[in-house]
Amino acid sequence: MTSTKRDAGNGVDPRIAGGELIIDLDALKANYRALAQASHPARTAGVVKANAYGLGSDVVVPALLSEGCRDFFVAMPEEGLIVRQYADDARIFVLAGLVSEDVARLYAALDLTPVLNSLEDVAIWSDFCATIGEQRPCALHVDTGMTRLGLTVPEALALAENESRRGALNIVLVMSHLACADEPEHPLNQRQLESFQRVRDAFPHIDSSLASSAGIFLGDDFHQSLTRPGIALYIGLPDAASQKPVVTLKARVVQVRAASAGEGVSYGSAVLVRDSILAVASVGYADGYLRAGSGAGVPLRGVEAAGGGGFLHGRHVPVVGRVTMDLTIFDVTDVGVDRVQVGDQIELIGENIPIERVAKAAGTIPYEILTSLGSRYHRRIIGAA
């Protein structure tokens, strides 16, 4: 049986919040269905680490459960504990691995499935299961080219051949992670697939997983029996320009002021090149609106010349000067005199400002933008749970 707990918001009063974070569950569920269809006949898991990429496990997990998702991946045990509150009957895999038998006991008590990332992890889990007299499930992570976590391919093959060591484990999933899946022509993709297939063949009749979001679109061979999309759940599929965004982020205008050409704006005093109308919005890097997205002409820039920007009353409005901790200044001159008022909301992420554009302006990726979003926004949930 599955719980359906759901938080309608985060308790921040919308009348005084500096911004609003809108999460569209219908869009999220549509993304999951599209990814599941692309993965078929493999099953599709949901990666909900980092508090469901910053959107809230409390709302994301029940939505995915309603679409039939029964496998979840988190990074840390405490994240798994939160997911378990909403998913009584799901498999919850924890990617962090083990550090001691005490941690192994914690996994068992919370009904979480550890991902074993080393021979040390294998030994800890084997010894723990022997101590309690029960072979509890685990996943085996193999490094096929990421050079991060995981047993080496030779270590995994040796484990498969050692009947006593292998027999001490209840391995329910063999997995690896692609290093260059977002570059379809990269030769490492095929090399990793070939290495993983060797390991998979050594562990027959066990679920296998290789593809995360981008890997799903490399072809059927990469799907194995379980795909595990993460970022694609939250920002949509590649080249799906017409897709409705899951996340809309808006910031409240707290002051509108006129400034003359030649005046300096914000820290570092970026010089205006024209007479301007400026809107000061209640958002900054303390809210996850990254300082690296500061406006053009600022010394810290050098990745994307135009810097960041928002959307207001049908017009793009660029960031002026440096993004500060709590405030960001936008040039709203082209919106029109007297059209911008205190209390207006500038769209920072949404249909008119794709998150990919926001990330590019800050010299980063959508993952960092989502997981950086702070707690001072009023969170509003729309769509069916």
Instruction: State pLDDT tens for residues 295-305.
Output: 755 554 444 45
Strand partners, 44: 227
The two three-digit tokens of residue 190, written as one number:
């095929």
Superfamily (CATH H level) for 25-235:
Alanine racemase (3.20.20.10)
Chain centroid to CA 123: 31
The two three-digit tokens of residue 139, written as one number:
């996943």
Per domain, the residue ranges of the chain are: 25-235, 247-353
Residue 9 has a pLDDT of 60
Helices (H), the chain: 25-39, 49-53, 57-66, 77-86, 101-110, 119-132, 153-161, 163-167, 187-202, 231-235, 355-361, 366-372
Cα within 13 Å of Cα(352), Cβ side: 14
| CA nearest to 117, candidates 92, 76, 149 | 149
Flag whether pLDDT at 144 surpasses 50: yes
Query: What is the mean predicted confidence (pLDDT) over 214-231?
Result: 97
Residue 1 has a pLDDT of 39
The DSSP result for 167-228, as a single string, is: HT-EEEEEE---SSTTSTT-HHHHHHHHHHHHHHHHSTTSEEE---TGGGGG-GGGTTTEE-
CB–CB of 36/67 below 8 Å?
yes
Residue 236 has a pLDDT of 84
Q: How confident is the model at residue 245 (pLDDT cuts 50, 70, 90)?
A: confident
Residue 3 has a pLDDT of 40
pTM tops 0.85, yes or no: yes
- Provide the mean pLDDT of the chain: 92
> Is residue 325 annotated as involved in ligand binding?
yes
User: In terms of residues, how long is the chain?
Assistant: 385
CB–CB of 172/92 below 8 Å?
no
CATH number of 247-353: 2.40.37.10
Residue 241 has a pLDDT of 53
Query: What is the mean predicted confidence (pLDDT) over 367-379?
Result: 94
| CA nearest to 289, candidates 244, 316, 252, 260 | 252
Could you give the C-alpha distances from 304 to 12, 167, 294, 343, 362, in angstroms and in order? 33, 54, 10, 29, 7
Residue 296 has a pLDDT of 59
Residue 237 has a pLDDT of 76
CB–CB of 4/62 below 8 Å?
yes
Contacting residues for 12 by C-beta, under 8 A, at least 6 apart:
375, 376, 377, 378, 379
Whether 32 is a known active-site residue: answer: no
Place of tokens 């820039």: 301
Residue 16 has a pLDDT of 81
Flag whether pLDDT at 72 surpasses 70: yes
Contacting residues for 263 by C-beta, under 8 A, at least 6 apart:
271, 272
Choosing from 49, 107, 250, 377, which is the catalytic residue?
A: 49
Query: What is the mean predicted confidence (pLDDT) over 265-270?
Result: 91
Q: How confident is the model at residue 15 (pLDDT cuts 50, 70, 90)?
A: confident
Query: How large a percentage of the chain has pLDDT more than 90?
Result: 85
- Tell me how far apart the alpha carbons of residues 133 and 127 are, in angstroms, rounded to a whole number: 10
DSSP 3-state of 279: strand
Residue 297 has a pLDDT of 52
Query: What is the mean predicted confidence (pLDDT) over 221-250?
Result: 87
Q: What are phi and psi of 119, to 5 degrees?
A: -65, -30
Flag whether pLDDT at 376 surpasses 50: yes
How big is the CA angle at 265 (ends 261 and 266), to the nearest 5 degrees?
180
Whether 49 is a known active-site residue: answer: yes
Flag whether pLDDT at 56 surpasses 70: yes
- Tell me how far apart the alpha carbons of residues 150 and 230 are, in angstroms, rounded to a whole number: 19
Flag whether pLDDT at 5 surpasses 50: no
Residue 59 has a pLDDT of 96
CB–CB of 71/93 below 8 Å?
yes
